[in-house]
Chain A
């Protein structure tokens, strides 16, 4: 589903390379975790996958279902099934969460040549997905992410993810800013979306998220490269020993 080959990237107009040859293959149905210390390039990787243009790819390629994803605009990637759950979801004042959901769902449907959703159909889907994530009607009427608590923001992200039914989900530090209960609700929401037709890349600092969302593969990203790949036990090992070993090997 996702193939990243020798990806080099930097912040546009700056010289320092942040990604220095990332190689990663994620197959359909798999959940991969990417762990790494601060500044290792985790968020940069997620932004580049989503198409943020403040980053510049200097070398390498990214294939999404065999297509060159780097050539696609962010909204084209979204319509093709790429979803990024933001570490810091953005506030859209005056736009009710419900309205945003409808606009996004219909924009993607239109891009794929599908009919827009009827209002009853839309409402049915939203209500079903919202119930699983403990998202109230009241929250859906509030402007998107405006005044939302950390937990509400992340739940709103997962709600969008479940409604947009993406093929590839990238979760950027979805556990940050969550208390234990919110972490459980969000993780359950994510687990519900695990499916043989869908791939996930879970980016996190901490092993605790991976207790809830158990990955098939764990990668360690350090200084812009994947320096180790293993199974879920690698995450436990990191929890115990920290990143020190990998920082040294990557240097």
Chain B
């Protein structure tokens, strides 16, 4: 039928070159030497004035890494990465902790402006209501350049700073929790990150404190050929609550940029952590050239009873995504949630999902995954739900829906379910559908263009997950999904 043929043609006409945020900011950068060695690690650690134990920790990770093999089980293919051809340290020059926005390089502020990121400091000046404020810890390449709101958070006893700063100011806290959720040897990329992590966020919510604002970090990879290895650690003490937002865009580059982050969350008794991500890194051009390689290890530990960790992600960027935000449900009655939208277009490859590891009694988890594949992309959901022997009455509900746009893309669902406890109850539902010609025609008859129709239908498809996002992200995410699918028809 020609309707189908038309869709194919439109999908072929995909133009991921439209990548909106593909520009390069011309800021002088300071780079370390290329390559991965003890010298690199020592140089990096020294640059950051880290304590001796941290340097040793990194070196230990490096030694382990050198004996590890790159995993090949994911449904992604890419040319081998030469880890010795990468820089492991790049920071914008002459940054010695600016005290206010005035001291920040105007080029950098201009970059954020192009991205439409409101540095909340400006909101205060404009007299914005404090309750609407979003604290932004802006990571530009590897060093945190601007940290706003720190003072206000401090009043609540909340620590929100870069991990480098935390290593200097709160070494005991960092030492206690770093690597306690994602061990140094957890996997190839996590081990690499442990050796050379550049920077990231550190959050500590004291007992009984409800963090007074959403914490937000915008990451941006800028320097050519720089692997960026963020490390984030969030600790929610007993009875505390925090919502953390992470949003990413990267400028357009020809060469692939490696990104291997590690995020660790620790929720103690009755604590709740909500972690939301919008990821929009350069996906590569329309021929599949370039784009970010995104190998991320994100894991939350519901260490205390009645604790809750919730992951929400909107993944539209990166050439390769390898990411499984997981929950270890250790505490009794703890709860894990994973809400995901993964959009792939062009030649993008996504292998993403979650792991819900039920260890404690009466633990529950919920997984809602929405995959949208267009163009020639491959989109895989890979998930593990397991109940250990002592996990009596563990509960899981999983729903995995895939939507195909066009005929050259693929959607795959690989659920692993393991139960060693007879009282566990796991439910799994999966659907795969296509945007039908009937739906397209109906929308067009009402006056919607091809692209408006696809955006509307897709936004309907992902609604269950969008609803989980904090307000300010929900709107951004919907826009992002529409932008990502631009050119998938028409």
Contacts and interface: CB of A to CB of B under 8 A. Distances in A.
Interface of A: 12-13, 50-54, 56, 73-75, 77-79, 83-84, 86, 89-95, 99-100, 103-105, 107-108, 111, 143, 160, 164
B445 interface: yes
A99 B460 CA distance: 10
B461 A160 contact: no
A74 B6 contact: no
A12 B2 contact: yes
A84 B444 contact: no
Given A12-B1, A13-B1, A93-B460, A78 B447 contact: yes
Contact of B457 (A12, A56, A92): A92
B305 to A, nearest CB: 36
Interface in B403-438: 436-438
A54 B443 contact: no
Contacts of B441: 50, 52, 74, 90
Contacts of B439: 90-92
3 tightest A-B CB contacts, nearest first? A94-B460, A95-B460, A108-B447
Given A12-B2, A100-B456, A107-B452, A84 B461 contact: no
Nearest to B466: A94
Given A95-B456, A108-B446, 4 more contacts: A86-B445, A90-B438, A94-B459, A103-B448
B443 A92 contact: yes
B128 interface: no
B445 A50 contact: yes
9 contacts: A54-B1, A75-B445, A78-B444, A78-B445, A92-B457, A95-B463, A100-B456, A107-B449, A107-B452
A94 B6 contact: no
B95 interface: no
Dominant SS at the A interface?
mixed
Interface centre among A89, A100, A160 (most CB of B within 10 A): A100
A74 B444 contact: yes
Given A93-B461, A94-B464, A75 B2 contact: no
B46 interface: no
Contacts of B464: 94
Contact of B6 (A53, A56, A86, A93): A53
Interface string B441-477: 1111111110010001101111110000000000000
Contacts of B110: none
Contacts of B446: 78, 100, 104, 107-108, 160, 164
A111 B452 CA distance: 12
A89 B442 CA distance: 8
A227 B338 CA distance: 62
Interface of B: 1-3, 6, 436-439, 441-449, 452, 456-457, 459-464
A73 B444 contact: yes
A211 B463 CA distance: 43
B275 to A, nearest CB: 24
Contact of A75 (B1, B447, B459, B460): B447
Contacts of B461: 93-94
Contacts, number: 86
A54 B462 contact: no
A88 to B, nearest CB: 9
A174 to B, nearest CB: 15
Nearest to A144: B460
**Residue among A13, A56, A90, A164 with the highest chain B CB neighbour number at 10 A:** A90
Contacts of A100: 446, 456
A84 B482 CA distance: 27
A54 B449 contact: no
Contact of B460 (A54, A78, A89, A92): A92
Contacts of A86: 442, 445
**Chain A CB within 10 Å — which of B437, B439, B452, B460 has the most?**
B460
A125 to B, nearest CB: 15
Contacts of B459: 94-95
B479 to A, nearest CB: 14
B448 A54 contact: no
B447 A164 contact: yes
B326 to A, nearest CB: 27
B445 A84 contact: yes
Contacts of B452: 103, 107
Nearest to B461: A94
B448 A104 contact: yes
B465 to A, nearest CB: 10
Nearest to A94: B460
A142 B417 CA distance: 34
A53 B447 contact: no
A50 B3 CA distance: 14
A17 to B, nearest CB: 17
Contact of A94 (B444, B449, B462): B462
Contact of A53 (B3, B448, B449): B3
A86 to B, nearest CB: 7
B473 to A, nearest CB: 18
A216 to B, nearest CB: 25
Contacts of A92: 439, 442-443, 456-457, 460
Contact of A54 (B437, B444, B456, B463): B437
A246 to B, nearest CB: 30
A91 B463 CA distance: 15
A77 B6 CA distance: 18
A105 to B, nearest CB: 8
A79 B2 contact: no
Nearest to B463: A94
A85 to B, nearest CB: 10
A104 B447 contact: yes
Nearest to B436: A90
Nearest to A107: B447
Q: Among the interface residues B447, B459, B460, B461, which one has the most CB atoms of the partner chain A within 10 A?
A: B447
Contacts of A90: 436, 438-439, 441-442
A186 to B, nearest CB: 18
A77 B449 CA distance: 11
A91 B460 CA distance: 11
A52 to B, nearest CB: 6
B372 to A, nearest CB: 12
B303 to A, nearest CB: 36
Contacts of A56: 2
Contacts of A77: 445
Nearest to A105: B447
Contacts of B462: 94
A90 B442 CA distance: 7
A111 B460 contact: no
B460 A143 contact: yes
Given A94-B460, A95-B457, A107 B445 contact: no
